[in-house]
Amino acid sequence: MTCNYLNEGCEGGWAILNGFYGENAHFVSEKCAPYKEKTKKQHCSNYEHCEPLAKIEKSYYINGYNFKPSV
């Protein structure tokens, strides 16, 4: 999720935007793009070589947007 350009990365953010990211981009393995506590000085170009593994077809909130959201 380091390169989720729609969200606030490790500084918080919205779960639904992770779903939107997955619809518009793709997810890669943690082996290729390991989770990092801090993302300062990290760039999406660092992970361009990572093989796409998954993509989300559709994402949505259960119970409506921003009302007791559930991932």
pLDDT of residue 9: 57
pLDDT, tens digit (0-9, with 9 covering 90-100), for 3-60: 777 776 555 567 778 788 888 888 889 999 888 777 777 777 888 899 999 988 887 7
pLDDT of residue 53: 92
pLDDT band at 67 (very low <50, low <70, confident <90, very high): low
Q: For 24, how many CA atoms within 13 A lie in the half-sphere containing its CB? A: 10
pLDDT of residue 31: 93
Provide the domain count of the chain: 1
Q: For residue 19, give its domain range.
A: 1-71
Q: Cα 36–15–48 angle (5° rounding)?
A: 45
